[in-house]
Structure 1
Amino acid sequence: MSRTFAYCRVSTNEQTTENQIMAIRQSGYDVLDSRVVSEVVSGGVQAMSRKAFADMVNHKLESGDRLVVLKLDRLGRDNIDVQQTIAMLVELNIEVVSLDLPVSNLSSAEGKLMLQMFSAFAEFEKSRIIERTKEGLERAKREGKRLGRPVAHDTRKRVQEAREHGLSQSKAAVKLDLGIATVKRYWNATGV
């Protein structure tokens, strides 16, 4: 007999997972309180790096169980991580259900197809971002704009001048609006 778990995540302490739990139960999933896993952590953190999620996967879920999330983004915000997480759960024979998708069971054939389509769109968008970045860099070069980090020569010169005026390293850092490590790097520098 399979058990049903719910994973609910919010990003800040000002938020609560209560609405997610209620929505999952209202969708017909009778999840025991002991099988509701909630945590406060950014969706940008990889799923298996989240303490409560990893604990659920490693110590609570068993083959044949079902994991329900209200929305796919509760598993994470990184498309690759979400897909790898779902693939890992399916490999463990865990049914993965996301209530916000037309095909809620992501471990079914239709669910796998939907994930592959999402992956294809994400890969397409990533390629478009790379293309737009290259186009922007080429345009900036044509317009004669200087690309890359600022020349350190100017920073070295400013630090040396502050030293010659008798400022300490910490006072030079404040006056020049630089980090103390930067000031130390150029404090005794000579040449270019």
Structure 2
Amino acid sequence: MAILGYARVSTLDQHLTGQIEALTEAGATTIFKEKVSGARADRPQLTKLVASLKAGDVVLVTKLDRLGRSTRELLDLIERIGQAGAAFRSLGDPLWDTSSSQGRLLSTLLAAIAEFERDLIRERTSDGRRRAQAKGIKFGRKPKLSDYQRAEALKRRGAGETLAEIAKSYAVDVSMISRLR
């Protein structure tokens, strides 16, 4: 069993020193360090930490926000840690200790709430989309070519003009002209 620490700061001019000291004092034998925004999905050191987990290991952070940028991401990471047979602890948030019954209960409750919230958001978004479509609002990108330009481009193709010439005259990609029907 190993205690693996994860320390992260958001910008290059911030320092990891305080987190590293706290994690070391709490018994972390290996500390994965990153200077990267929590908003970024690609955090290589966090990926290495999760990949290195073995049954019985403990992942340790100083505060919850060091691990995840959102409740959903945090819960997903804690679930992945649990699937590896490891536990999760946050020094600044004592209820977050998945090696205890209370910690597991808390993460289960929050996961259920996050799933419920996600379903509500999905329903509201879907309802809003349906209402907008009923009012005639179109979704997606605006067409680069008008109906007239599309008809004209088709005539030019039929007359033998090359796709590249037609595309250049409308400042669009050749593939757009080739897809016209």
TM-score normalised per structure 2: 0.67
Does the CA-based 8 Å contact 1:12-1:41 persist in structure 2?
Answer: yes
2:140 and 2:57 mapped to 1: Cα distance? Answer: 52
Q: What is the deviation of 1:38?
A: 0.4
1:74 and 1:155 mapped to 2: Cα distance? Answer: 52
Change (3 A) 1:3 1:149: closer
1:129 aligns to 2:128 (yes or no): no
Q: Secondary structure of 1:120's match? A: helix
Structure 2 equivalent of residue 53 of structure 1: 46
For 1:21-32, list aligned pairs within 5 A: 21-24=20-23, 29-31=26-28
Which ranges of structure 2 fall in alignment gaps of 5 or more residues? none
Change (3 A) 1:74 1:187: same
Q: What is the deviation of 1:184?
A: 0.7
Which ranges of structure 1 fall in alignment gaps of 5 or more residues? 174-181
1:156 and 1:76 mapped to 2: Cα distance? Answer: 50
Matching residue within 26, 32, 41 for 1:37: 32
Q: Secondary structure of 2:146's match? A: helix
For 1:167-178, list aligned pairs within 5 A: 169=167, 172-173=170-171
Cα displacement string for residues 69-107 of structure 1 (whole angstroms, at most 9, x for unaligned residues):
122233333655544543443455533211343413122
Corresponding letter in the other structure for 2:121 = I
Structure 1 equivalent of residue 109 of structure 2: 117
Task: Indicate the RMSD between aligned Cα atoms, in angstroms.
Answer: 3.9
2:169 and 2:13 mapped to 1: Cα distance? Answer: 40
2:138 and 2:55 mapped to 1: Cα distance? Answer: 57
Corresponding letter in the other structure for 2:16 = T
TM-score normalised per structure 1: 0.64
Change (3 A) 1:30 1:184: same
2:26 and 2:179 mapped to 1: Cα distance? Answer: 67
Percent identity for Structure 1 against Structure 2: 31
Matching residue within 183, 187, 192 for 2:173: 183
Change (3 A) 1:139 1:100: farther
**Count of aligned pairs between the two proteins:** 173
Corresponding letter in the other structure for 2:91 = L
Cα displacement string for residues 35-91 of structure 1 (whole angstroms, at most 9, x for unaligned residues):
221023454666xx74323434555x5554432112223333365554454344345
Does the CA-based 8 Å contact 1:4-1:30 persist in structure 2?
Answer: yes
Structure 2 equivalent of residue 176 of structure 1: none
Structure 2 equivalent of residue 73 of structure 1: 65
